[in-house]
Homo-oligomer: A and B are copies of this chain.
Amino acid sequence: MASTSNQTVTSNQTVYRATTTAPVNIAVIKYWGKRDTILNLPTNSSLSVTLSQRSLRTLTTASCSAEYPPADTLNLNGSPQDIQSSKRTLACISSLRALRKALEDGDSSLPKLSAHPLRIVSENNFPTAAGLASSAAGFAALVRAVADLYELPQSPQELSRIARQGSGSACRSLMGGYVAWRTGELADGSDSLAEEVAPATHWPEMRALVLVVSAEKKDVPSTEGMQTTVATSALFAERVLNVVPKRMDAIETAIQTRNFHEFAEITMRDSNTFHATCLDSWPPIFYMNDVSRAAVRLVHDINRVVGRTVCAYTFDAGPNAVIYYEDKDSEVVAGTVKAILGPNTEGWDGVFYERLANVTAGVSLDQIDSRAVEVLKDGVSRVILTGVGEGPVKVEDHLVSETGEILSTL
């Protein structure tokens, strides 16, 4: 048996391990609608900003060993998962294992890892209750970790085809910076891939402030919601066929030229169009609530008062607002939010906090809609301060010991 870099040899068993972190991403052109529900092929292209793993990340160790009991296992945030009931997880593992098998078939010196049971252990450093799409980071980390374990030569773009089958938006979390997911045209989905539009270093000043809205039962899970929209919204086809393609082109140009005004307006308009098609679904789907609407008002008011577009909102399938802005405008954007919510709101002490620690300025609150101020003060339970960041990173903080035991950082 050839030794590999992932190999750990202990007294009586060999455990192979690879560990990675993977980021959350927040779309600015939204993914909403599948043209193939098995393969997770989207009805339209989408584009996202990968968020810094200094704030939010999934940490995943993939390990395998001939000594493990025969079934693959997955442990998530300390709880064993029923991997056999998750077709999406099985699809990812099976694709990765097939790639490993092909390597082994071509080089008999390689250890037969594809024949070993997998033990995968994953942890998020943020509460699920934060309402952030943890499945994107989760599947990206799983695919990246297993690919590293198997020492697969495939590029992140090629791996995105596999991650996509776990969770559509996961394909965009395999890369950092500004990432497009091209809808593709082929029925087998082989051209429906993520692609880096620009690295984080191209426009590193991008910041994101998440306003976490006090929990309320989510309207409809997003997989179910998007199928309802595809099947019933009279306006949906127009968005897919005509609206999104133009916006994809325009926002890629905005990113290439670091034109925040354009980036912001397209981001806000696409969020609105996405939620419009949800409202136009039957039965209608509402993800935004009065607190979300107050955040919309706040962003428009800040931009109006400052006299230029300094911030942009976007909303996923839930009420939380994500506000994008550039670092230089931290005072007028995050400073204003901080003045409204008060410094004691949970989250102002995160890793991006230094920039804001002494911010007292911001926009004068009497220039902001007073009703919006009240609603935000009551309705935002915490903030998460972050910014554009890198893609998955290989680390040595394994969640599986050298002898195969599950570890935890929680």
| A interface residues (Cβ-Cβ under 8 A, vs B) | 216-217, 234-235, 237-239, 242-243, 265, 268-269, 272-273, 275-277, 279-284, 286, 289-290, 293, 296, 300, 371
Q: Contact: B234 with A273, CB < 8 Å? A: yes
Which of B234, B276, B293 has a CB less than 8 Å from the CB of A269?
A: B234
Q: Contact: A296 with B276, CB < 8 Å? A: no
Closest 4 CB pairs of A and B: A276-B276, A276-B280, A238-B238, A235-B235
Interface of A is mostly: helix
A321 to chain B, nearest CB (A): 13
Known: A234-B238, A242-B234, A272-B279. A217 touches B284 (CB 8 A): no
Q: Contact: B284 with A296, CB < 8 Å? A: yes
Which of B276, B290, B300 has a CB less than 8 Å from the CB of A283?
A: B300
Q: Contact: B300 with A293, CB < 8 Å? A: no
A152 to chain B, nearest CB (A): 41
Cβ contacts under 8 Å, A296 to chain B: 284, 286
Cβ contacts under 8 Å, A269 to chain B: 234, 280, 282
A243 to chain B, nearest CB (A): 4
Known: A235-B235, A239-B235. A289 touches B280 (CB 8 A): no
Q: Contact: A243 with B239, CB < 8 Å? A: no
Q: Contact: A279 with B286, CB < 8 Å? A: no
Cβ contacts under 8 Å, A265 to chain B: 282
Give the residue among A235, A243, A273, A296 with the most B Cβ atoms within 10 A.
Answer: A235
Cβ contacts under 8 Å, A277 to chain B: 235, 276
Known: A284-B296, A289-B290, A300-B283. A273 touches B216 (CB 8 A): no
Other contacts beyond A237-B238, A289-B293: 11, CB < 8 A: A216-B371, A234-B243, A234-B269, A235-B239, A235-B273, A272-B280, A272-B281, A272-B282, A272-B284, A276-B276, A286-B296
Q: Contact: B290 with A235, CB < 8 Å? A: no
Which of B217, B243, B293 has a CB less than 8 Å from the CB of A235?
A: B243
A271 nearest CB neighbor, chain B only: B284
User: How far is B234's CA from A49's CA once the two chains are assembled, in angstroms?
Assistant: 24
Cβ contacts under 8 Å, A281 to chain B: 272
A199 to chain B, nearest CB (A): 30
User: How far is B281's CA from A268's CA once the two chains are assembled, in angstroms?
Assistant: 11
A282 nearest CB neighbor, chain B only: B269
Enumerate 20 A-B pairs (CB-CB under 8 Å) in ascending A order. Answer: A234-B243, A234-B273, A235-B239, A235-B276, A235-B277, A235-B280, A237-B238, A238-B238, A265-B282, A269-B282, A272-B281, A272-B282, A273-B280, A276-B276, A279-B279, A286-B293, A286-B296, A289-B290, A289-B293, A290-B290
A293 nearest CB neighbor, chain B only: B286
A272 nearest CB neighbor, chain B only: B284
Cβ contacts under 8 Å, A268 to chain B: 282, 284
User: How far is B106's CA from A13's CA once the two chains are assembled, in angstroms?
Assistant: 112
Cβ contacts under 8 Å, A272 to chain B: 279-282, 284
Q: Contact: B282 with A279, CB < 8 Å? A: no
User: How far is B242's CA from A237's CA once the two chains are assembled, in angstroms?
Assistant: 12
A320 to chain B, nearest CB (A): 16
Cβ contacts under 8 Å, A235 to chain B: 235, 238-239, 243, 273, 276-277, 280
User: How far is B234's CA from A284's CA once the two chains are assembled, in angstroms?
Assistant: 19
User: How far is B111's CA from A199's CA once the two chains are assembled, in angstroms?
Assistant: 83
User: How far is B280's CA from A296's CA once the two chains are assembled, in angstroms?
Assistant: 13
A315 to chain B, nearest CB (A): 11
Give the residue among A238, A284, A290 with the most B Cβ atoms within 10 A.
Answer: A284
A8 to chain B, nearest CB (A): 51
A265 nearest CB neighbor, chain B only: B282
A285 nearest CB neighbor, chain B only: B272
Q: Contact: B276 with A217, CB < 8 Å? A: no
Cβ contacts under 8 Å, A280 to chain B: 235, 269, 272-273, 276
